[in-house]
Amino acid sequence: MVRIEGQVSAPSRAGVNVADSLMLAMEVEKYLRKQHQLQLDFYLAAGNDPRNTGRTVKIMLYPNRFTEQPYQHQQ
């Protein structure tokens, strides 16, 4: 599984930043699927950290065991 977190920050645009951050993550997913033929499960996230400025993308890889077996709560 691949997690892509987009982060777009601009002062005084908090409401727009989250939508822009998600769009950035979606564009990265589209690029990875088209240019590198990645056929993986993608999880998209939108960051909204006002301390950061500009545009950044974090890409995290998780082992397949997170997607192959459903979580079973143990008591």
Task: Give the pLDDT confidence of 40-68 residue by residue, as tens digits.
Answer: 888 888 877 777 778 889 998 887 665 55
Residue 47 lies in a domain: yes
Question: Given the structure tokens 């979580």, which residue do they identify?
Answer: 71
Task: Give the pLDDT confidence of 2-43 residue by residue, as tens digits.
Answer: 889 999 887 667 678 888 889 999 999 999 989 988 888 888
Provide the residue range defining the domain that includes 36: 2-66
- Evaluate whether 29 touches 46 at the Cβ level (below 8 Å): no
Residue 35 lies in a domain: yes
The pTM score is 0.74
Question: What's the structural domain count of the chain?
Answer: 1
Q: 62 is written with which tokens?
A: 């998780």
Q: 31 is written with which tokens?
A: 């690029």
CA distance 17 to 6: 10
Residue 73 lies in a domain: no
